[in-house]
Amino acid sequence: MSSVIVVVGPGLIGQAIARRVGVNKHVLLADLRQGNADAAAETLGNAGYDVSVAAVDISDRQAVHALVEQATGLGEVTGLIHAAGVSPSQAPPDAVLRVDLYGTALVLEEFGEVVASGGSGVVISSKSGHRLPALTQEQNEALAAAPVAELLTLPFLQPDQVQDSLHAYQLAKRGNSLRVMAEAVRWGRRGARLNTISPGIVITPLAKDELNGPRGEGYRRMIQSSPVGRAGTPDEVGAVGALLMGPDGGFITGSDILMDGGVTAAYWYGEVPEVRS
């Protein structure tokens, strides 16, 4: 039986991880836009990977379930790379929460029902989740463990409480790391592991949208003022993803790896200008 790696959101970061963990496995590339999945499949296929594609709306349970069925029809699901999402400059608050928070929780729940023993997953979150002020314990528990169908009805996620896309994004990304921690317990019962990576500014088309958007100047200041002094690359995230999904990361689960060149450290304790992102 084939070993299947599912990549939800096969952009540059998703592909970078897949290149490292997808050798001698079947890689299923899923995206909201079929054209994006096809382009990723052409790139990886030309590099010798065994690939297939799917279109999926991660905020639609039936669509996610259909993706799970497609994956299990190809073989044993041993890996999940979840890199799908929208940025604050790309969507209004309700869409950010629906895709980045609810959609991620839905994907983890559905694939948590089928992931094979010895399997692993990684969710690409964001440094933004580390910049949100502390939530209450009740809010943390709700983001981590509320039934997926009830997530978007939580009182502190309603339009009168979340009035801009950046706040929605921060909540969603904090929710991702909390959700992964809770889901890691459930995945562990199947002998599988699950972790989060929270990258900083990594040069991808999404990052370029932010750099050229209304918060672009602030993003450039963050890069210049960070301890590392530069943006990251998808391959650097790919290396961390490979560690988390591979045998060398076998003792790591339920964790969130912040890799942002020290931007968050400087935000809290250094001299990064006050840019809330």
Model confidence over 37-89: pLDDT tens digits? 999 999 999 999 999 999 999 999 999 999 999 999 999 999 999 999 998 88
For residues 241 and 235, the answer to whether their CB atoms sit within 8 Å is no
Q: What tokens does 139 get?
A: 């809010």
pLDDT in tens, 88-108: 888 999 999 999 999 999 999
Amino acid at 128: S
Backbone phi, then psi, for 153, in 5-degree steps?
A: -100, 0
Active site residues: 169, 173
**Residue 5: closest CA among 42, 65, 69, 50:** 50
For residues 240 and 255, the answer to whether their CB atoms sit within 8 Å is no
The pLDDT profile of the chain, 277 residues, written as one tens digit per residue, is: 799 999 999 999 999 999 999 999 999 999 999 999 999 999 999 999 999 999 999 999 999 999 999 999 999 999 999 999 998 888 999 999 999 999 999 999 999 999 999 999 999 999 999 999 999 999 999 999 999 999 999 999 999 999 999 999 999 999 999 999 999 999 999 999 999 999 999 988 777 777 787 777 877 888 888 899 999 999 999 999 999 999 999 999 999 999 999 999 988 888 655 544 4
* DSSP-H helix ranges across the chain: 12-21, 34-46, 61-74, 93-96, 104-111, 137-145, 165-188, 205-211, 216-225, 234-245, 263-269
In the three-class reduction of DSSP (H, G, I as helix; E, B as strand; rest coil), residue 83 is classed as coil
State how far the Cα of 94 lies from the Cα of 158, in Å rounded to an integer: 9
For residues 154 and 83, the answer to whether their CB atoms sit within 8 Å is no
Q: What tokens does 20 get?
A: 């490292």
Q: Which residues contact 189 (CB under 8 A, 6 or more apart)?
A: none
**Residue 222: closest CA among 241, 193, 199, 205:** 199
In the three-class reduction of DSSP (H, G, I as helix; E, B as strand; rest coil), residue 8 is classed as strand
Whether pTM exceeds 0.75: yes
